[in-house]
Amino acid sequence: MTVETIGWLAFLLVAGVLATDIWRVAGVFAALRVSEDSEVFKFVRAVATALVAALIARLVFFSPGVLAQAPVLLRAGAFAAGFIVFLGARRSIAAGILAGEAVLLAGLAVLGS
């Protein structure tokens, strides 16, 4: 790599960090002023939850890549199993993810995929 290439890469790195970190810092300072019981906080939490739910639904029903080879019912069953374990394990995200993965892998093994 030339010095010019390294300079451009450093510039892109700094510009990218500044462009995103300004908003992160602004978010932290704005969040300090918002009460957890306020309507704004409840709205933001609801939007964030809806976005996560939409991403999960997209992964289950319109899976990209290799995951698309698994049948939709298997993907939905793995999600359901993971969610049930998540709730049963006192909202343990790790337990839910591991259970969902176990069901998906076991189903793929049974189907021979």
**Could you read off the pLDDT of 1-39 as tens digits, one per residue?**
788 888 899 999 998 888 888 888 888 888 888 788 889
Residue 105 shares a structural domain with residue 61: yes
Buried b (16+ CB within 10 A) or exposed e, 52-87: eeeeeeeebeeeeeeeeebeeebbebbbebbeebbe
Residue 28 shares a structural domain with residue 76: no
Residue 1 shares a structural domain with residue 43: no
Task: Report the pLDDT value the prediction gives residue 113, as an integer from 0 to 100.
Answer: 65
Per residue in 80-102, pLDDT (tens digit) is: 999 999 999 999 999 999 999 99
Q: What is the mean pLDDT of residues 55-59?
A: 94
Identify the domain containing residue 24 by its residue range.
Answer: 1-33
Which pTM value belongs to this model? 0.66
Task: Report the pLDDT value the prediction gives residue 48, as an integer from 0 to 100.
Answer: 93
Number of domains in the chain: 2
Residue 61 shares a structural domain with residue 88: yes
Task: Report the pLDDT value the prediction gives residue 1, as an integer from 0 to 100.
Answer: 76
Task: Report the pLDDT value the prediction gives residue 94, as an integer from 0 to 100.
Answer: 95
Task: Report the pLDDT value the prediction gives residue 81, as an integer from 0 to 100.
Answer: 97
